[in-house]
A and B are shown apart, each in its own frame.
Chain A
Amino acid sequence: MLDQFFFYIFASVILLGGLLTITRRSAVHSAIFLIATLLGIAGLFLHLQAEFLAGVQVILYVGGIMVLFLFVIMLVNLDQAARQRQFNRQWWLALLAAAAVCGEALYGLYRGRGAFTFPGAVPGNMPPNTQAVGNALYQNYMLPFEVASIMLLVAMVGAVVMAKKRL
């Protein structure tokens, strides 16, 4: 009962935050609402007893990435962006298409909800699982973990190439 209560609280924070992020005119407001969304997701992770993910979510996304976002927003010329039209003329068509896809996905998930097999909830508190995450990353998922480092290197080199005036 309490579980469900918290789930709906976090879910509505995420949804509302997401909606406000894309509808606000001011970029700073959008960024603040995005922080609310990300915090809601951290809450959901905590709710699922994934405390490591929740911590990473808060430290990396809310703490790191969003601060960078706000810095960038402060550096660009906002007045001009705020005066431009926010949605193009076909927004209602996009809305219809998005609603249709959303309806299909909801229908599929609702009809097939019995298909997902999850281990039953453990009564009481689970043991901390940060160590399990670490073991999985460095043992079974060692290869994708290492390839991700190349991906990050590419992203870094790419950002420098794209942004620097003279190489």
Chain B
Amino acid sequence: MPARHEPIFDRYSVWRLLKESIDGNRGWKQAWRKPEPKARYDVVIVGGGGHGLATAHYLASVHGITNVAVVEKGPIGLGNSGRNTTIVRSNYLLPSNIRFYEYSLRLWEGLERELNYNVMMSQRGQLSLFHSASERDAAVRRGNSMLIQGVDAVLLDREAVRAMLPFIAMDNPMFPILGGLLQPRGGTARHDAVVWGFARAANRRGVDILEHCEVTGIRCESGRVVGLETTRGFIGAGKVGIAVAGNTSQLAAMAGLRLPIETHLLQAFVSEAIKPLIGCVINFGAGHFYISQSDKGGLVFGGALDGYNSYSQHGNLPLVEHLMSAGVSMVPALSRLRVLRQWAGMMDMTMDGSPFICRTSIEGLYLNGGWCYGGFKATPGAGWCFAYTIAKNEPHPLNADLTIDRFFEGRMIDEAGVGPKPWAQ
């Protein structure tokens, strides 16, 4: 049995940067170790994305459970954690969603200090524009829901939007801009940094991050999970938490569970880098189009799903055409800019558009999934709640509604009123 590694930890600061630069940057240590699997852990989290790593971090830091492994079939953070549009916000309509995402947003606000890692959380505001009276009414209902829950929201009229975003088209014949609902505390964060920051922080507390370790089976004995079959051998586990966005149905099927989830494709795009043009995150109702500008200068934008079940991670042109049309129609300045790169992620789309953080019918097996395309902003909140649920074997009030049972009971959390059509959520 290999000797247990001493947790290594480089504290980051400007002084440390200075010191290392004098040494030619040769003194930096690995941000996380690459250990061999142990025979057994108290908790094994399947999925080394932001959610899985955050869960491991909070299991260790909040609940003192440090005999934890995160198993990941590839390298960490290359699933949806590394394929999103980096938006962070809590501007939801339904109270249970507002409470959960607001808690997550508060965690975001302290994440740099919590992790000693600059995740570049940038609260430049998130503005959802409305194009009709009925969309305005829905925005007012939503904004008031937020304010009642103590979340920041500001209603902007048409002139205020024009003043804030002088470059947008106010008068499209079918999508005039009547105003917008602004969440000033919304914004973006650097997606990869969140993964690396949680990995480093979890590693520091002794969590083993096992990359290139694919789960091939979930071993249960008399209704209770006992461990995982993996490509790096059997790993015993007291408890197992699944956090494998996109592949949730596949993992659950290994334990005989059939979930109300379909896997769908979502594309995103980034333009060539330009000098600052767009300050806040903007979301247009027209054709479902959202855009922000990264610190590096690229305009990051996306829209709706391609609209059919897919695990392919590559998108097709109908959505591209529609999205570019919507983009140029709403932000004419985009027309002469160039799109640099396109990518796609696999979304766990649920039947009401809301996620799961819950126990399952198998003792010791817990589920975090179904994030549709809202998973990135949930990263710290989901990790925190999932860690709580695993540690206490019961949900925290923040995630008490996020169960699979809600569909048996008729307690759907359907923000958009779309119903059980995952491809249209």
A binds B: no
